[in-house]
Chains A and B, each alone.
Chain A
Amino acid sequence: MEQRHRASAPFPEANGMAVAASRAGRTSAGHWIEKRKTGLLFILPALIVYAIFFVKPFLTSIYYSLTSWNGFDPVKKFVGLANYEQLFHDPLVWLSLSHNLIWIAIGTFAPIIIGLPLAVMLTNIKRGRLLFQTAYFLPYVLSGVLIGVIWGWIYNPVFGVLNHILHSVGLGGLARGWLGDPDLALYAVLVAAIWGYFGFCVVIFMAGLQNINLELIEAAKIDGANSVQRFFYIIIPQMRNVLNVVIVYNLIGGFNVFDIIRVMTVGGPANQTEVIATYNYSVSFQQNNIGYGTTLSMVMTILSLVVSYFYITLRDKQEPGE
């Protein structure tokens, strides 16, 4: 220590304190890196990939959103915040967002409401468990495009099986052009999406149920709790972490939904199933307006981040001990 002080003696008095502070800062930063060098080395390859495939495109997208560009011209005209101003006055943006909110509200919780009880039931059976598990999971393996095609046939007003079934059971009055009905089309597509996704939730929840403390369930049984009470007061609280992960995953997916809507309705009829992603596609690739399309992408990204942040914060507030 004394030797280090003598080494600093030759520096001029007037700059002594600033230099000392600067040296202290550099020493502190260098010390910080030195302490974490192993960890930094481990994450460096992933950081590089992340920087190339996420950070750079993200920053580039922010730049594009400040331009008027058709995707072809070599010159991008800088327009500042004009795209963002246009976004606030664009009725289709608000309509699309409202559809995204409906999609999130129903699409987030419906697969959970269907998947969790099924997972609990499957966990309690031995015979046929694998068969049912496979059957429930199979739709998840299909692509969104294929699900859209299959359900497009089911909903077909002329030869679709849904209308045939309704007619044959005396409910012909309910038969309609499901994907052409402006009030029902979005929900019809949601049903198809939920069908394609709930199996994934079943499998995830079944894995989570393996960690349930069985002693608590036994104790609840002894105390006289019925199966419904055990489900709500013992199982769901212990499945909290798994539920949180699935909910966040679904929330983000709700803002990004695209393929199944594109295949089933192209955002129609008359924009009644338009969501931000399909509107973005039409603006960017059909109307050659990359600048405005990128602005819409920014909206999707920010909303996904904000909603996820609020949910995680809320969850953390409710679990102060964790």
Chain B
Amino acid sequence: MKKPIGLLTMIVFVVVAAGCQGAAKTTTSPTSAAASTVAATAAPSAEPVTVKVLDAITEKADTDAVNQIVQLFETAHPDIKIERTSVTGKDLDAMAMTTLSSSDGPDIIARNPGPGFAGVMARAGLLLPLDDYWKKYNWDDRIYPIAKTQGTIGGKIYGIPTELEFIGVFYNKTLFDKLGLAIPKTYQDLIDICQKATAGGYIPMAFGNKDQWPADVQYAQTISNMIGRDGLDNILHGDGRWDTPESVKAIQIPFVDMNKAGCYQADPNAVSWDDANTLFYSQKALMVPTGTWLIGDINTNVKDFEPGFFFYPSLPGGKGQYPAAGLGGGYWVSAKSQHPDQAAAWLDFYFSPEAAKIWMETSSKIQPVKVDSSGFKLNTLFKFAVNALQTQSDQMGYNIDPLLPANFNQLELDGFQAVILGQKTPEQMAKDLEKAWEDALAKGDAVK
């Protein structure tokens, strides 16, 4: 038995030794490493610094826009290279904690602002405060105050939210004209449109909630219309509650009454958001309730009819029309970044008027940057939306999701589906939302 043992020992030793040799070959030998270090210090390095950015930019129009911005930035800053990695938003949520904790993680990460998203990362010390850079680059002069507010966590500025979005209804102007319909000013007008559309053989409103989040968007809109911005501020920062009669109505109207009135295609919980949009693009549905993030897609897919946009009408017993608005994403610098100055330089360019112009012209997205868009080449739908925003800017609600804790958001995802199915009443859902909010406040996941 000694011979095989001896032979095996030799084999294991050789394999391990070969592995070590292999590893050694991937690194420079000590003498050549010293030589290269000397050579490096002797002359200035020509290698640009690479800033790694992890984002969720996957749509074609958005990718085109950001690639243009990267190209312009790198031309203006030949010493900095931007290396982007794009994943879906859901994948980014799953990756965020591990990638930021890694020593080889991104310098800049994209995430929604709010306590359940960037707030968690900031409280864990994973993000770099940007207050000094904010002063250095004078961002107060060009970035909207709302972006600064939402990028501020615990009194420090950690990031800059991107993409001002607001919620409304896209509609098929061509079919509206054909059916003799007008933009609804009241809830009853909207119900009448639903009935006429059904009589004409169309789906009134494409509402696909298989992915769960579209219902959150609907609720953000109806709660904004019911209680206005002051009412939302009172809940988020005062002693307001989520289980008031107005909040119950904000759940009842879109998920019970409009569903029963036949405003949606059958089985909203069985239709995905993409498929609902397809119903709109293919002119099977007259309207699709969603946010301005869809404008780029509409421009790409709609060729056979004229699309339009209107704000959700006022609701019975509500405060009026308060289009839900908010900032849909954000860029945050990792506390472990080895190149914070270069990362800040990228942010400075990303939130410049030059970049904002590219976003608006290429992707129909509004960055929170003060810019005169009158000379920009904007498509008709986007121009309309921007004008509508400007006329309504004093009376807007909130797109509440990014402002709320994770447990509240999760309850919305599951709970609104249950309301649509009739498994949960609007009253019960409103009570559950209030409980989730109180639990989050008690745990410190939300702060008033």
| A interface residues, Cβ below 8 angstroms from B | 37-38, 41-42, 44-45, 70-74, 152, 155-159, 176-182, 265-271, 281-282, 285-288, 290
> Please, which residues of chain B bring their CB within 8 A of the CB of A38?
1, 4-5, 8
* Contacting pair B410 A286 (CB below 8 A): yes
Beta-carbon contacts under 8 Å, B18-37 to A: none
> Please, which residues of chain B bring their CB within 8 A of the CB of A265?
210
* Contacting pair B212 A268 (CB below 8 A): yes
> Please, which residues of chain A bring their CB within 8 A of the CB of B116?
288
> Please, which residues of chain B bring their CB within 8 A of the CB of A267?
414
Nearest CB of A to B99, in Å = 11
Stretch from B123-131, B315-323, B356-364 forming part of the interface with A: B123-131
Nearest CB of B to A94, in Å = 15
> Please, which residues of chain A bring their CB within 8 A of the CB of B413?
266, 268
B284 interface contact, C-beta 8 A:
yes
Pull 26 A–B residue pairs with CB atoms less than 8 Å apart, ordered by A. Answer: A38-B8, A41-B5, A41-B9, A42-B8, A70-B124, A71-B97, A72-B101, A72-B121, A72-B124, A73-B123, A73-B124, A74-B125, A155-B270, A156-B271, A157-B266, A176-B270, A177-B267, A177-B269, A177-B270, A177-B271, A181-B270, A265-B210, A268-B212, A269-B210, A271-B414, A287-B407
Given A269-B421, A270-B417, A288-B120, decide whether A158 and B265 contact each other with a Cβ distance below 8 A.
Answer: yes
Q: Which of B4, B9, B414 has the most CB of A within 10 A?
A: B414
> Please, which residues of chain A bring their CB within 8 A of the CB of B211?
266
> Please, which residues of chain A bring their CB within 8 A of the CB of B101?
72
B93 interface contact, C-beta 8 A:
yes
Q: Report how far A288 CA is from B417 CA in the complex, Å.
A: 22
Given A38-B4, A73-B123, A73-B124, decide whether A282 and B270 contact each other with a Cβ distance below 8 A.
Answer: no
Closest A-B pairs by Cβ, 5 of them: A177-B267, A180-B270, A177-B270, A72-B124, A180-B269
Given A270-B414, A285-B94, decide whether A180 and B271 contact each other with a Cβ distance below 8 A.
Answer: yes
Nearest CB of B to A290, in Å = 8
Nearest CB of B to A45, in Å = 8
New A-B contacts (13) at CB < 8 Å, excluding given A177-B266, A181-B267: A42-B8, A72-B97, A156-B275, A158-B284, A176-B266, A176-B267, A176-B270, A178-B270, A179-B210, A180-B268, A268-B413, A269-B421, A270-B421
Per the CB 8 Å criterion, the residue count for chain B at the interface is 46
B173-190 interface code vs A (CB 8 A; 1 in, 0 out): 000000000000000000
Nearest CB of B to A53, in Å = 16
Nearest CB of A to B288, in Å = 14
Q: Report how far A70 CA is from B409 CA in the complex, Å.
A: 16
B279 interface contact, C-beta 8 A:
yes
B406 interface contact, C-beta 8 A:
yes
B406: contacting residue among A44, A45, A74, A286, CB under 8 A: A286
B423 interface contact, C-beta 8 A:
yes
A286: contacting residue among B1, B126, B409, CB under 8 A: B409
B250 interface contact, C-beta 8 A:
no
Q: Report how far A206 CA is from B298 CA in the complex, Å.
A: 51
Q: Report how far A38 CA is from B2 CA in the complex, Å.
A: 10
Given A180-B210, A270-B421, decide whether A72 and B5 contact each other with a Cβ distance below 8 A.
Answer: no
* Contacting pair B270 A70 (CB below 8 A): no
B12 interface contact, C-beta 8 A:
yes
B272 interface contact, C-beta 8 A:
yes
A188 (CB) vs chain B CBs: closest residue: B270
Q: Report how far A68 CA is from B333 CA in the complex, Å.
A: 26
Q: Report how far A130 CA is from B121 CA in the complex, Å.
A: 55
B203 (CB) vs chain A CBs: closest residue: A158
Q: Report how far A182 CA is from B97 CA in the complex, Å.
A: 33
Q: Report how far A73 CA is from B126 CA in the complex, Å.
A: 8
> Please, which residues of chain B bring their CB within 8 A of the CB of A270?
269, 414-415, 417-418, 421, 423-424
Beta-carbon contacts under 8 Å, B183-230 to A: 210-212
Q: Report how far A279 CA is from B171 CA in the complex, Å.
A: 36
> Please, which residues of chain B bring their CB within 8 A of the CB of A178?
270
Q: Which of A38, A181, A269, A282 has the most CB of B within 10 A?
A: A269
B279 (CB) vs chain A CBs: closest residue: A158
Q: Report how far A176 CA is from B212 CA in the complex, Å.
A: 19
Q: Report how far A164 CA is from B212 CA in the complex, Å.
A: 25
> Please, which residues of chain A bring their CB within 8 A of the CB of B94?
281, 285
Nearest CB of B to A144, in Å = 15
A37 (CB) vs chain B CBs: closest residue: B5
> Please, which residues of chain A bring their CB within 8 A of the CB of B143?
none
> Please, which residues of chain A bring their CB within 8 A of the CB of B126?
72
Nearest CB of B to A76, in Å = 11
B65 interface contact, C-beta 8 A:
no
